[in-house]
Chain A
């Protein structure tokens, strides 16, 4: 996902003179194509997130479309104050590219996990966070990001995700209805969208017809996009590779409460108190937190029978 996205961005940047790229000591060879073609718009900064974000804000203030790329954990948390203050200006075309959302960097330990990033960005009201589920969506996001007005946070997965969204048109801000169903509504975001497809198929076998809405774009400005769907269901499930507080599940919970919807909600995500001390890989952590297909099917089936 990362390699393709950056390759596409380099191509776009070559022809779009208002596009600037800032990285923070990324891997050797990253964006060489842009570095060679347009060195005046390519900046590989050091390991200095405060400078990185500040510099990006200054460039955006002067009218550039600025892509800032580093590991999600550091990109969002290290200089969060600067993001919160700087992005009050909704006109700034900053695109934060966060590598390794969720458990991608599990082998490297807790410092590299990014499980509260959506929550933090939800609280900067000008920002639309986007969690692409596969390379098809990532390509669409990068293409659409060039002209999108306002700040974006794009959460990168690991890469090599199975394609699962090609049949659903992608537009930033509009959730994609992957399939209809009458018994419950499942909302997924990011790379857990693919296992959610499998969950929906498994539930069908038990005669449970679930509608599946892929919510790739998250921002409280998009409340109306979710409400259209939420109003139709009395049972709602959210699935995300994120803490239970503040992300997609919280957003849906907030809407149910604020609009007094007659829905019960099952949030599937990561409980911070139960965060494992293990290393291993992303899949193992998803399994441990009940976010793989079999565990989700079991949990949803049990819940829906109550």
Chain B
């Protein structure tokens, strides 16, 4: 994948996120925007899957543990033909099948339910363990939020994965430095995150998702026998729009107006990504 292709695809996905907002008039926009590039790279260049066979046993398992980023996830699944695009208009609708957090539905490519932060990591450990028992090749990728790493269950999962030498699992952290109330440093600092991950027994990497996002591919593909991987993706909260970028108001927004939609679309189509 080339950078120009990634940039073009990012705009397409962000517009698909805004399409969902047009229906729901509410959502976790910034948490979705910050993971767009991560998801594109995973679904374009890293994950093995077959859109025509969602139950393919050899598929890689992707788990969105930061479930509130799901608008990006749904857009990706639709864009990569795992889900019919028509479902996007149902986002948060009473009769719709896509909610504010994902629920497991392999017919749409959704591998796991999430919503309560911290629970995807141990679930992923279980899935990875199962694949080891079956002695099969698929890998497990689980995407966590930085605020989510406040949860003890995440660190229990890290310890367990390292202790069990699960080298078929990659924890990816969307490190956008902000959570709902304020910056991560203000609310619950993660300190030297890479050092923490390393000391927990994980092979830890860092990627600058603004300057060199494609590095994510090679880190995902690297192999470390007997060690789980962690990739810290340095992103920007609300990335891809100068309206949402680093703006706490857009962590979750309700009552989104037609004017908001218009301005968001315009800001995405004319990106000024904050560095």
Contacts and interface: CB of A to CB of B under 8 A. Distances in A.
B129 interface: yes
B228 to A, nearest CB: 13
B134 interface: yes
Given A40-B132, A82-B119, A58 B125 contact: yes
Interface residues of B, number: 29
A62 B130 contact: yes
A43 B129 contact: yes
A70 to B, nearest CB: 14
B153 interface: yes
Interface stretch (B25-33, B108-116, B192-200, B244-252): B108-116
A84 to B, nearest CB: 9
A64 to B, nearest CB: 6
B256 to A, nearest CB: 28
A144 B126 CA distance: 24
A72 B164 CA distance: 25
A43 B133 CA distance: 12
B112 A64 contact: no
Contacts of A107: none
A50 B153 contact: yes
Residue from B119, B124, B157 having most chain A Cβ neighbours under 10 A: B119
Chain A interface mostly helix, strand, loop or mixed?
A: helix
A41 B135 CA distance: 12
Nearest to B134: A62
A64 B159 contact: no
Interface residues on A, range: 20 to 34
Given A51-B122, A82-B119, A58 B153 contact: no
B160 interface: yes
Nearest to B61: A62
A136 interface: no
Contacts of B159: 46, 48, 51
Interface of B: 104, 112-113, 115-116, 118-119, 121-134, 152-153, 156-157, 159-160, 163-164
Given A45-B160, A51-B160, A86-B113, 19 more contacts: A46-B159, A50-B118, A50-B122, A50-B152, A54-B153, A55-B160, A56-B126, A57-B122, A58-B124, A58-B125, A58-B130, A59-B126, A59-B129, A59-B133, A62-B126, A81-B116, A85-B115, A86-B119, A86-B123
